[in-house]
Amino acid sequence: MAYLIDEHKLTKVYLKSYHTIGRYKFNVDTLIDQPGVSRHHAIIELAQGKWLIRDVSTNGIWLNDKKIDKNLPYQLCENDKLDFAAPGQNSFVVGNLNAECQYLVSQSDNQQVIEVSDQLLLPDEENPTHIIYYDKMLNYWFLEDLNTNDRQALIDGGLVSVFNNQWVFYSAGAAPMTKHLDSQPIVKPCGLSFSVSQDEEATQLSVTLNGNMIDLGVRSHHYLLLLLARLRIQDKDEGIELDQQGWIYREDLIKALGVQMNHMNIMVHRARKQLTDAGGEDFPELGYLIETNNGKLRLNSQDITIIKGHKLETRMSL
């Protein structure tokens, strides 16, 4: 995480990818309410992997005791010392310049920080109510309510209200959103092959993409996918319309699984993450094999094979 250290307050100042410093309380990211500090005094920004500072003030900035030229970018390094408006005054030290991480900082206590890497269940893995994850399709981070499936896009420096508190999300290295998602993306045709033990205690899953088979091994969340696959096949056999096939309410799914809602939600997101990772750069939409809509889920596949024990249980093909 990238931050400065206020030498007077001994607190961390977390940096956005475009960060403003000055005395204008309502229009800067970091307020320095001291004489001589301009309303807009400095800009710190991340450009091509480097953190740069620009002086846009009247009274100047000192970098390691040397005054920098106005409106010219200067590269920052860790342990650099910055003085605003006068040498030796309003001093900060560059504490960290790592942009390859994400974190939430509490608005009520900026020393309360939650680091985010890849996927994070909140408030903890045992009883999660929310999840933060990265959507490779959109190049964006999201906060999702596990009970309602409502999700909020997280932007660098944006406010997030959760757990009766407001947090600021920092992700300086995040790429901009590359596309809008009005509906869930179309998943390229892929084959799913389940091999479940006779007692249904172990479920192995393989995915076939472009003729290449990927063995995803045995995981507990594969049983959730197996139940969704069976329901999809059953609905097709009963002649239900394609867009209506396979849907099941979350409440009914947890009964079938014999687990609590929060456990089922964890299974869904672990399955999505495994599928997304398996799809790689060529098939990032594979995580959307699990579709959600108004409290319901289904498996978005029409090429399914289920082996139980050593015998073919059922098969569905395009």
Verify that 90 and 107 share a domain, yes or no: no
Residues 248 and 218 in one domain: yes
Q: Check residue 177 and give its pLDDT.
A: 44
186 part of a folded domain? no
Tell whether 226 and 270 lie within a shared domain: yes
Please write the tens of the pLDDT for every residue from 119-153: 788 887 778 888 888 877 677 888 888 877 778 88
Give helix 261-279 / helix 221-237 axis angle, nearest 10°: 90
H/E stretch holding 228: helix 221-237
pLDDT tens digits in sequence order for the chain, 318 residues long: 799 999 998 999 999 888 999 999 888 999 999 999 999 999 999 988 899 999 999 999 999 999 999 999 999 999 999 999 999 999 999 999 987 778 888 888 877 888 887 778 888 777 888 888 887 767 788 888 887 777 888 888 888 888 788 888 888 765 544 444 445 555 567 889 999 999 999 999 999 888 888 999 999 999 999 999 999 999 999 999 998 999 999 889 999 999 888 788 888 888 988 988 888 877 777 878 888 887 789 998 889 999 999 899 999 886
Q: What are the CA-CA distances from residue 217 to residues 190, 205, 207, 271 (Å)?
A: 17, 6, 10, 12
- Report pLDDT for 184: 55
Structural domain contains residue 183: no
Residue 270: other Cβ atoms inside 10 A: 17
Q: Do 158 and 75 belong to one domain?
A: no
Which position has the token pair 């508190």? 165
Task: Output b/e per residue, 1-29; b: 16+ Cβ within 10 A.
Answer: bbbbbbeeeeebbbbbbebbbbbeeeebb
Is there a single domain that holds both residue 144 and residue 217? no
Q: State whether 155 and 65 are in the same domain.
A: no
Question: Are 156 and 17 in contact, with CB atoms under 8 Å apart?
Answer: yes
State the pLDDT at residue 178: 42
The pLDDT, as a whole number, for residue 154 is: 87
Answer yes or no: do 60 and 123 share one domain: no
Q: Does 8 reside within a domain?
A: yes
Please check whether residue 66 lies inside any domain of the structure: yes
Q: Are strands 140-145 and 130-135 parallel, antiparallel or unpaired?
A: antiparallel
CA 306 vs CA 203, 228, 280: distances in Å: 10, 12, 25
Q: Centre a 10 Å sphere on the Cβ of residue 157 and count the other Cβ atoms it contains.
A: 17
For position 273, what pLDDT does the model report?
85
The verdict on 54 and 131 lying in the same domain is no
- Cis peptide bond upstream of 123, omega within 30: yes
- Domain with 60, as residue range(s), is 2-97
88 and 112 both lie in a single domain: no
Contact status, residue 44 vs residue 53, Cβ threshold 8 Å = yes
Which tokens hold the place of 250?
Answer: 């979350």
How many structural domains is the chain composed of? 3
